[in-house]
Each structure stands twice: as C-alpha cells, then as structure tokens.
C-alpha cells in the first residue's frame, strides 16, 4: 500500500466521484482508475489533478469544494 500523504484526500475525491451526478459512468470509472494508478505509482498530486481535469471540468469545482487548490 502506498505511503502517500494525500490518501485521505484521495478517498474523499473517490467518494465524491461515485456520488456525482455530473459525471457519466465512464467518467467515474476512468477517474477512479486514474486515482488508483496514481497511488500505486506515487506520482505528484499536480499530475493527478491535471489528468482528472482532462476527463471533466467537474474536477475544478470538486477540488475547490474539498479545499484542494
């Protein structure tokens, strides 16, 4: 398991993705997949943020709501 500092934030993001009515099922699946890959590879959070924003503009709003950036 990753020792990444942002695991709590990532769990919050994943929960919000699953509950979102603004994302399609494909967007939800792709987003969760990218988060899980990111944790395994222990990438910088900025990299994940950019990848998720490519999937949907929803993530700009979500990160703001969660107090991330």
- Tell me the per-residue pLDDT of 21-55, one tens digit each, with 9 for 90 and over: 999 999 999 999 988 888 777 667 778 888 899 99
Q: How far is CA 63 from CA 1, 42, 49, 52, in A?
A: 24, 19, 9, 10
Confidence of residue 2 (pLDDT cuts 50, 70, 90): very low
Q: Structure pTM? A: 0.68
**Predicted local confidence at residue 50, as pLDDT:** 86
In angstroms, the CA 10 to CA 58 distance is: 16
Domain extent at residue 48: 7-16+24-65
Query: Total structural domains in the chain?
Result: 1
Whether 37 is covered by a domain: the verdict is: yes
Whether 1 is covered by a domain: the verdict is: no
């Amino acid at each position: 398991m990753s020792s990444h500092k942002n695991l709590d934030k990532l769990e919050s993001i994943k929960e919000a993705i699953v509950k979102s009515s603004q994302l399609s099922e494909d967007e939800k699946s792709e987003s969760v997949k990218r988060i899980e890959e990111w944790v395994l590879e222990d990438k910088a959070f900025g990299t994940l943020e950019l990848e998720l924003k490519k999937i949907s503009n929803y993530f700009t709003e979500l990160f703001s709501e969660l107090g991330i950036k």
